[in-house]
């Protein structure tokens, strides 16, 4: 090979390397985003997150939510009990949502700065409430348009109280939670309208 051929080969190899590295970078940029809960817990990977057992005297885990707690009944929140809240927890956050809603997960209730206690009473306001996807503050019970939907009652123990005003949205809440979750747990119930 002569110098001209060597130069052409080097240019070709360099161009191929640039093209390949560009493809690898583009693949990273196109990685899918988790639609279930976009921000919750991000930034907490290095923390040892403990488990909280969440239950209700109104319905069993994976069981049917009584109509009383839905849009077909009194539309009040069910009672919830917690076991395993760490002693160092400063506050709790509760997020209730329906991942079976379309086109995205539907948020029914967000509450923060809840005292770290063993239970939340039925039909109560345990902390600072935010805006749900009904565009209202407070609890909005299950109300699926058709079929059986799953409803998750997720509790998070935080190492601080949040400086967030009442009426804030879920994205704002989840952003404030990043790096402060020390324990979490969930209870799932189902509901279908008659």
Secondary structure of 73-96 as H, E, C letters:
CCCCCCCEEEECCCCCCCEEEEEE
Q: What is the pLDDT of residues 163-189, one digit of tens each?
A: 999 999 999 999 999 999 999 999 999
Domain extent, residue 59, equals 50-192
The reply to whether 28 falls in a domain is no
Q: Three-state DSSP class for 23?
A: helix
Reply yes or no on whether the pLDDT at 10 is more than 80: no
Is 31 inside a domain boundary? no
- Residues 127 and 65: their CA atoms lie apart, in Å, by 23
| 43 vs 95: CA distance, rounded Å | 18
pTM for the model stands at 0.77
For residue 95, pLDDT over 70 is answered with yes
Whether 177 contacts 113, CB under 8 Å: no
Q: How far apart are CA 177 and CA 84, in angstroms?
A: 19
Token pair listed for 165: 């005003």
Whether 25 is in a domain gets the answer no
* Residue 65's CATH number: 3.90.280.10
List pLDDT tens digits, range 25-69: 443 333 333 344 444 544 444 568 999 999 999 999 999 999 999
Residue 6 domain flag: no
Instruction: Provide the pairing of β-strand 106-114 with 91-98.
Output: antiparallel
Q: What are the tokens at 65?
A: 């939510």
69-74 long-range contacts, Cβ below 8 Å, gap at least 24? Answer: 69/141, 69/142, 70/141, 70/142, 70/143, 70/191, 70/193, 71/140, 71/141, 71/142, 71/143, 72/143, 72/193, 72/194, 73/141, 74/123
Say if 111 falls within a structural domain: yes
Peptide linkage before 103 cis (omega within 30 of 0) = yes
Instruction: Confirm whether 43 is domain-assigned.
Output: no
- Whether 29 is in a domain gets the answer no
Q: How many folded domains does the chain comprise?
A: 1
Q: Is residue 21 part of a domain?
A: no
Which element (helix H / strand E) includes 6?
A: helix 3-29
User: Stretch 114-135: mean pLDDT, rounded?
Assistant: 97
- Report pLDDT digits (tens) over 65-82: 999 999 999 999 999 999
Backbone angles phi, psi at 99, to 5 degrees: -75, -10
């Amino acid at each position: 090979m002569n110098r001209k051929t060597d130069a052409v080969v080097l240019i070709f190899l360099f161009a191929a390397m640039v093209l390949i590295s560009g493809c690898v970078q583009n693949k990273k940029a196109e990685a899918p985003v988790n639609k279930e809960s976009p921000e919750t817990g991000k930034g907490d990977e290095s923390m040892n997150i403990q488990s909280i057992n969440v239950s209700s005297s109104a319905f069993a885990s994976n069981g049917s939510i009584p109509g009383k707690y839905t849009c077909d009944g009194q539309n009040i929140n069910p009672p919830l009990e917690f076991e395993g809240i760490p002693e160092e927890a400063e506050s709790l956050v509760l997020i209730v949502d329906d991942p079976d809603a379309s086109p995205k997960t539907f948020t029914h209730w967000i509450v923060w700065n809840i005292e770290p206690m063993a239970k939340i009473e039925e039909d109560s306001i345990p902390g600072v409430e935010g805006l749900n996807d009904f565009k209202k503050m407070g609890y909005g019970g299950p109300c699926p348009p058709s079929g059986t939907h799953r409803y998750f009652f997720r509790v998070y123990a935080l190492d601080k109280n949040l400086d967030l005003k009442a009426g804030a949205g879920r994205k704002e809440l989840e952003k404030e939670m990043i790096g402060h979750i020390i324990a979490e747990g969930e209870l799932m119930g189902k509901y279908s309208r008659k």
